[in-house]
Amino acid sequence: MKSTKWYVITGQPSSGKTTIIERLSEKGYRISEEVARRFYLMLLKNQKENQILVDRMVLQKQILDIELARENCLNPNEVIFFDRAIPDSIAYYRMIGEIPEFVIKAAKRFRYQQIFFLEPLPFEVDGVRQEDAETADILGRYIYDAYVELGYEIVRVPVLPVAERVEYILDRSC
């Protein structure tokens, strides 16, 4: 396992991760956007939304492959804030009833500096998100558990105005 200076912003769907990542970027921090969201947007743009629903196992493997390629290209000594990271994949595989060994192995390749778990906000449908509120809650528990199972101490970020959430994270990071 290779140690990094990478920080992960995670939590259940509709917890404000993307908004926090955007604000960190605006403040000049290097960020890495959520791979799954970009992948879904590309499928929707190319009118292939049926691929999102057809085979969840294949979809998760495609997302994981993109995440692995992304991390292989990044400098582990550079401070980067991630909107989700590879361990989140464990939760998504768990939702479809599988946790293949290759996912666990992938999640152990790098050691993130700190994990920030955002407490949930009221659930919103956004045109990309596939989950409903109940599924989002379950995913949140699975995501949290995945990081704990990998030995991370998690910083829970309370529901606060966006600027205060960003400061809360920055006060506990670099």
Interatomic CA distance for residues 163 and 155, integer angstroms: 17
Domain residue ranges in the chain: 2-171
Whether 128 shows a pLDDT value over 90: the answer reads no
pLDDT in tens, 53-93: 556 777 788 888 989 999 999 999 999 999 999 999 999 88
Instruction: Output 58 or 108, whichever has higher pLDDT.
Output: 108
Residues 139 and 91: beta-carbon distance below 8 Å: yes
Whether 52 shows a pLDDT value over 60: the answer reads no
Model pTM above 0.85: yes
Smallest CA-to-CA distance from 79 within 3, 1, 158 is with 3
DSSP-derived 3-state class of residue 47: coil
pLDDT at position 53, please?
Answer: 52
Please check whether the domain covering 2-171 is classified as CATH 3.90.190.20: no
171: alpha, beta or left? (left if phi > 0; alpha if psi -120 to 50) = alpha
pLDDT at position 114, please?
Answer: 98
